[in-house]
């Protein structure tokens, strides 16, 4: 398979769409200044050694990562949703991983397609029990049920069979998720052309690679050709760094926490700008850091986002199953 045939087309579609963006611009001088301050030791891949990951069984860990990414979106309910696990409370994506881990420890067969296909809302609410509000609970139920049917019909009811079918290729795994499981599709129409992000499908492949340190279920080639994962946190950090600049109308909407509809031009532009800015950062850093990938930058930005203080500018509010 050639490079062209094996490409997800994310970066290509973003590059083609970027010149049509009007709500967001990239301050390339500021981008260069930020990149000049990044040291080799600042860039690393995550090991995902949080206790919410099911490390006791490699097969279950791999299944947990795929199951998690099927519903890894939109955690910004009020009050914020949290799950208790291992003697502490977790929020955001780590709360979802904690809920799955807790259920697996309790013997709930969450990783089996037949169980997921029959999952009831009352069971899902019990799995997600905690404090605060988890948005889009009905959508998460529908997604897990659909995933269960696909697993039962095509993959012998097994999440790890999906990984096995990818033949050790991260791009093929992401494509498989997008094509076989509709909830992983993340393509939008923008300025008369399709723009692809595939945030959760790419993240599933990357997390497997990182959590398994490139071995076992994480032995995946072509991870260096994944992009950053366009979500809420990355554009928030890029904006704080002065790399992304919103026009007055969009800045007012984001700062007032006004909801921006999924698929609207401003929302898609934020995601386009996020992926393209990260690619420009990668290109800027490559001459002195030749091994840098989008995964390094994604984690650098994601980690910076988790360290932000309470007075930081808010992230954009979009109710979506894409991220």
0.85 surpassed by pTM: yes
Confidence of residue 238 (pLDDT cuts 50, 70, 90): very high
181-237 pLDDT per residue, tens:
999 999 999 999 999 999 999 999 999 999 999 999 999 999 999 999 999 999 999
SS3 for 185? Answer: coil
Q: Which residues lie across from 194 on neighbouring strands?
A: 189
Grade residue 43 by pLDDT with cuts at 50, 70 and 90. Answer: very high
* Catalytic-residue membership of 49: no
Specify the pLDDT at position 5.
38
Rounded Cα distance, 18 and 28, in Å: 14
Rounded Cα gap, residues 217 and 160, in angstroms: 8
Q: What's the mean pLDDT in 71-98?
A: 96
Tens-place pLDDT, residues 256-313: 999 999 999 999 999 999 999 999 999 999 999 999 999 999 999 988 888 877 778 9
Of 6, 231, 291, 298, catalytic: 231
CB 72 within 8 A of CB 203: yes
């Amino acid at each position: 398979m050639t490079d062209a045939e094996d490409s997800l087309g994310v970066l290509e579609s973003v590059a083609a769409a970027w010149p049509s963006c009007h709500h967001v611009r990239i301050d390339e001088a500021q981008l260069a200044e930020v990149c000049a301050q990044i040291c080799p030791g600042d860039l690393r891949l995550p090991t995902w050694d949080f206790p919410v990951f099911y490390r006791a069984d490699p097969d279950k860990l791999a299944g947990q990562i795929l199951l998690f990414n099927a519903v890894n979106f939109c955690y910004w309910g009020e009050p914020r949703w949290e799950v208790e696990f291992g003697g502490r409370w977790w929020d955001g994506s780590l709360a979802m991983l904690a809920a799955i881990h807790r259920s697996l420890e309790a013997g709930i067969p969450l990783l089996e397609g037949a169980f997921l296909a029959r999952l009831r809302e009352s069971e899902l609410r019990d799995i997600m029990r905690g404090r605060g509000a988890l948005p889009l609970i009905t959508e998460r139920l529908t997604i897990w049920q659909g995933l269960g049917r696909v697993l039962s019909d095509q993959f012998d009811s097994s999440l790890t069979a999906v990984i096995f079918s990818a033949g050790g290729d991260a791009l093929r795994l992401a494509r498989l998720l997008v094509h076989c499981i509709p909830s992983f599709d993340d393509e939008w129409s923008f300025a008369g052309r399709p723009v692809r992000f595939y945030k959760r499908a790419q993240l599933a492949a990357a997390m497997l690679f990182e959590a398994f340190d490139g071995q076992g279920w994480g032995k995946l080639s072509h991870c260096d050709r994944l992009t950053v994962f366009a979500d809420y946190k990355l554009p928030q950090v890029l904006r704080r760094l002065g790399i992304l600049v919103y026009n007055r109308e969009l800045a007012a909407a984001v700062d007032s926490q006004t909801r921006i509809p999924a698929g609207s031009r401003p929302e898609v532009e934020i995601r386009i700008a996020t992926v393209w800015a990260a690619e420009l950062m990668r290109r800027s850093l490559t001459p002195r850091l030749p091994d840098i990938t989008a995964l390094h930058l994604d984690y650098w930005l994601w980690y910076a986002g988790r360290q932000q203080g309470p007075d930081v500018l808010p992230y954009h509010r979009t109710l979506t199953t894409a991220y």
